[in-house]
């Protein structure tokens, strides 16, 4: 199970990048957090949703929304 602190690495990565749109493969995200993503990230768009109650939704705190493409195994973070 991935800890909140590991997802915080993704928030830091997005802040450092700073672009309006940041496209990453799911493998890229896993490399940043240092752990494989859970199966639900590959199967359910809602995992990438905008509910701040979700542990992984750290992108919201740094001003991004996530739009996944499950078939391509990619996610695009767009500054909100």
Q: Are 73 and 42 in contact (CB under 8 A)?
A: yes
Number of domains in the chain: 1
Q: Please, which contacts does 61-64 make with residues 24 or more away whose CB atoms are closer than 8 Å?
A: 61/11, 62/11, 62/14, 62/15, 64/14, 64/22
The residue to which tokens 């450092």 are assigned = 16
The residue to which tokens 């995992």 are assigned = 47
Could you read off the pLDDT tens digit of each residue along the chain, which spans 80 residues? Answer: 778 889 999 999 999 999 999 999 999 999 999 999 999 999 999 999 988 888 889 999 999 999 999 999 999 999 99
Q: What is the span of the domain harbouring residue 9?
A: 4-79
State the pTM of this model: 0.92
d(CA 37, CA 31) in angstroms, rounded, equals 10
């Amino acid at each position: 199970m991935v800890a909140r602190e590991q997802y915080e690495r993704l928030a830091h990565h997005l802040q450092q990048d700073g672009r309006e749109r940041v496209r990453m493969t799911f493998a890229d995200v896993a490399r940043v957090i240092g752990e494989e993503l859970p199966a639900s990230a590959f199967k359910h768009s809602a995992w990438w949703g905008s509910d701040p109650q979700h542990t992984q939704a750290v992108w919201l705190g740094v001003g991004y929304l996530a739009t996944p493409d499950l078939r391509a195994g990619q996610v695009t973070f767009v500054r909100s």
